[in-house]
Chains A and B, each alone.
Chain A
Amino acid sequence: DVKVTQSSRYLVKRTGEKVFLECVQDMDHENMFWYRQDPGLGLRLIYFSYDVKMKEKGDIPEGYSVSREKKERFSLILESASTNQTSMYLCASSSGGQSSGANVLTFGAGSRLTVL
């Protein structure tokens, strides 16, 4: 069964800590995405990547960075966590390309981060 795996389901961190959220996909997908989800705001795109070592800002990149050193792994980094970054973080991937199904997203289960 193909999947997107997020390393931590629940995390609790303190303000100012550096936080790494890891995401691994086993589908050989080209594209990977990080979203955050907050009540009343839906899913908002933080960063995405459509190739190894490539990254693009999404709608809310401030306070975040990403790393994609290998095709299957896409990491979200909070350099100095703040309380307003308490949220559910969702990783997704898609195969990419021009066919109609190439950009169907497969999501991970999510990582719920609490910053105290």
Chain B
Amino acid sequence: DAKTTQPTSMDCAEGRAANLPCNHSTISGNEYVYWYRQIHSQGPQYIIHGLKNNETNEMASLIITEDRKSSTLILPHATLRDTAVYYCIVRVPLDLIGNEKLTFGTGTRLTIIP
């Protein structure tokens, strides 16, 4: 299984870009990187995922290095509501038809400072 390593916690000033790093040095060629976040007392929420290319959606951008051994989630203009635990995980194939399980680590606790 590809494992991920994330910093335990980070702070970011409100209005600035929050850059959350993730290392996944053992990722294999067909494994996607997923990001989720969890606001206190709620279930995790999907943010974005990618394979090789950089991705962007209305919530965030995902930058994956060329060797795919690390990635960075970027929240371009952080607000207080972005305070949450952010999980970087990789897809572990379950069977030949593409079903899979996702294993979560402990994530990065991001605090947005007013």
**Shortest distance between the CB of B44 and any CB in chain A (Å):** 5
Q: CB < 8 Å: which of B43, B45, B100 contacts A110?
A: B43
Contact A35 B104 (CB under 8 A): yes
CA of A108 to CA of B107 in the docked complex: distance in angstroms? 19
Contact B44 A105 (CB under 8 A): yes
Q: CB < 8 Å: which of A58, A103, A107 contacts B43?
A: A107
Q: Which of A12-20, A79-87, A94-102 lies on the face that meets chain B?
A: A94-102
Any chain A CB within 8 A of the CB of B10?
Answer: no
- CB closest residue in chain B, given A98: B98
Contact A50 B99 (CB under 8 A): yes
**Which size bracket describes the interface of B in this complex?**
20 to 34
Q: CB < 8 Å: which of A42, A105, A107 contacts B107?
A: A42
A-B pairs with the 3 shortest C-beta distances? A107-B43, A98-B98, A43-B104
- Spell out B's residues near A (CB within 8 Å): 32, 34, 36, 41-46, 49, 51, 87, 91, 94-95, 97-107
- Spell out A's residues near B (CB within 8 Å): 4, 30-31, 33, 35, 40-45, 48, 50, 56, 58-59, 90, 92, 96-110
Task: List, sorted by A's number, 15 A–B pairs whose CB atoms are closer than 8 Å.
Answer: A30-B99, A43-B87, A50-B99, A56-B94, A58-B101, A90-B43, A90-B44, A96-B97, A98-B97, A99-B98, A100-B32, A103-B91, A103-B102, A104-B49, A107-B43
